Amino acid sequence: MIIFLYGKDSYRRQEKRREILSQYKAKNADADMLALDLEEAPEDWKRAGEFLRQQSLFVSSKAVLITGSSEISEDDGFNKKEVKEWISILTSALSLPKTFIIISQESAPKVAFKFLLAEPVLVQEFPRLTGAEMEKFLRTRAKLLRLELQSAAWKFLLRYALSQAESSSAGLQELQKISLASFEQPISLSDVQKILAFNAYDESFAIALQLLRARDVSGRLLALSLLLFRGDEARYTFNLLGSLARGREAVLLAEYDEKIKGGEMDDETSLLGFALGV
């Protein structure tokens, strides 16, 4: 069996990996396990083959935990024979019910590894969360921490999380800090600001509002160019707009987001289309 986890949201991806590993250990207490980080040491791929070929007299199950797998490619300096052997090592596990390979990586698999996206591989993607998805994620975690935030405090925390590269992790870390502060609930914006200094975000926030409020295409394009000129990543700008948009604009951004996730468009093209109103 192969379980393939991938996507930009490393926190949720690794959380899922820990969950799978915990369930596996509970069912296979005596299992043989090997952990390999092929992003840091790609030459270790041969160890996986050696481990899986070894006969075990006292255990009935084996598991290989792999960080990265597509690094074993011709683009990364490996020859065709080595790539073919690595693919054979992975695919051999598909027909072995007591052999588990759990792969976690940020990027989608390269062409030679597209089989990782098809049955019988168990696949789950963890993309960066959008505004609505991030709010749902943080509210669920806040409930577990028994936290209640006022509306303004929620918006402030959400905007901060969406501005960070590791957005879900950043938002959760701030919730944990807020929990330790023992503020009176529902927690106010001023109390959250005691924990979280978030001044760098203000200008991007103001320009994003300017874009959404512009009455003509030229005004929207000017605001978009200002956001990109600031050096903000296109995905960050897209998520920021998604957290602020309402009505038709929120629907339009959601449609663009589906096209991005489906590979039809990229973030930059979607932002331009949104600014043009098409």
Last residue of a domain, one of 95, 125, 155: 125
Question: Is this prediction's pTM over 0.85?
Answer: no
Domain boundary, last residue among 100, 125, 150: 125
CA distances from 33 to 43, 99, 100, 230 (A): 19, 10, 9, 47
Beta-bridge partner residues of 34: 64
Domain with residue 151: its CATH number is 1.10.8.60
Task: Identify whether residues 81 and 32 lie together within a single domain.
Answer: yes
Closest alpha carbon to 238 in 207, 209, 271, 204: 271
Q: Give me the chain's average pLDDT, please.
A: 89
Tokens 């600014």 belong to 275
10 Å CB burial of residue 27 (0-12, 13-18, 19+) is exposed
Same domain, 90 and 159: no
| 8 Å CB contact between 38 and 71 | yes
Say if residue 229's pLDDT is above 80.
Answer: no
If one compares 31 and 104, the residue with the highest pLDDT of the two is: 104
pLDDT band at residue 143 using 50, 70 and 90 as cut-offs: very high
Q: Are residues 72 and 21 in the same domain?
A: yes
213 and 191, same structural domain? no
For residues 92 and 207, state if they share a domain. no
- Does 16 lie in the same domain as 121? yes
Rounded to a whole number of angstroms, the CA Rg of the chain reads 23
Q: Are residues 100 and 207 in the same domain?
A: no
Say if residue 121 is in the same domain as residue 143: no
Residue 246's pLDDT band, with cuts at 50, 70 and 90, is confident
Q: What is the CATH number for 74? A: 3.40.50.300
Q: Both 66 and 98 in a single domain?
A: yes
pLDDT in tens, 55-68: 776 777 899 999 98
What is the SS3 string spanning 156-185? HHHHHHHHCCCHHHHHHHHHHHHHHHCCCC
Looking at residues 154-180, what average pLDDT do you find? Answer: 89
219 and 185 together in one domain: no
167 and 82 in a common domain: no
Residue 239 belongs to domain spanning: 200-276
Number of structural domains the chain divides into: 3
Same domain, 218 and 272: yes
